[in-house]
Amino acid sequence: MRKIKLYIAASIDGYIADIDGGLDWLSAYPITPELDYGYDEFFNSVDSVIMGGRTYRDILNMDVIYPYKDKISYIITRNKMNNLKENIHFITENIIETVSEIKKQEGKDLWLVGGGEIISMFLDNNLIDEMTITIIPIILGSGIPLFPNTAKKSTWKLQNTHSYCNNVLQVEYHRNI
């Protein structure tokens, strides 16, 4: 069975974006060929991404080419949207059941891109199998939390840690079964 993996950056105080959803605070810690935080290896281990509608719209509003064009994208949204592109699918109802069925399909693992509400929903329904959290050495003070309103306790096993020369710390956890 495929795994759902959360691979995400967060501030020391646990925020994944500033209060306005901005990510400018990450610009001092870019992914480069010399320092990619394991991103290339991770990116090649998945063939699909899952994200919330707000995250999807934020990506579309950036001045960049859609970064997941070679992956299948599943967008969880309250807004009905038409599938305009072959590799983009919108999930508007029966989210947990639909994602559970996607996990059972053949293929590589799935990357849960964000945002916080989707992460909490997946945690509460035991859908996340692994988490790689890259902790950026900054305190935002407020913003969009990594785990907002998580209703269910879960325990995790530390698999790996890696510290980088720029004071970034990456931790990898697997769900304790």
SS3 call for 116 = helix
Q: 59 pLDDT exceeds 90?
A: no
Averaged pLDDT, 14-25: 91
Q: What is the mean pLDDT of residues 41-55?
A: 95
Other CB atoms within a 10 A radius of the CB of residue 77 amount to 18
Rounded to whole angstroms, the Cα distance separating 132 from 170 reads: 7
Residue type, 77: T
CA–CA separation, 117 and 139 (whole Å): 21
Q: What is the mean pLDDT of residues 57-82?
A: 86
Q: Over the stretch 121-170, which tens digit does the pLDDT of each residue have?
A: 999 999 999 999 999 999 999 999 999 887 788 999 999 999 999 999 99
Residue 130 in tokens: 């692994």
User: Which range has the worst mean pLDDT, 24-28, 36-40, 53-57, 74-78?
Assistant: 53-57
Q: Which two tokens stand for residue 38?
A: 């394991």
Tell me how far CA of residue 9 lies from CA of 47, 97, 116, 138, 159, in angstroms.
20, 27, 12, 11, 17
At 90-105, the pLDDT tens digits run 999 999 999 999 999 9
Better pLDDT: 85 or 156 = 156
pLDDT reading at 82 higher than 70:
no
115 strand-pairing partners: none
Which residue from 65, 170, 78, 169 is spatially nearest to 117, judged by alpha carbons? Answer: 78
How far is C-alpha 106 from the geometric centre of its chain's CA atoms? 21
156-163: long-range contacts at Cβ-Cβ below 8 A with a sequence spacing of 24 or more?
Answer: 156/131, 159/130, 162/38
pLDDT reported for residue 83 = 61
Q: Is the pLDDT of residue 64 over 90?
A: no
Q: pTM for this structure?
A: 0.92
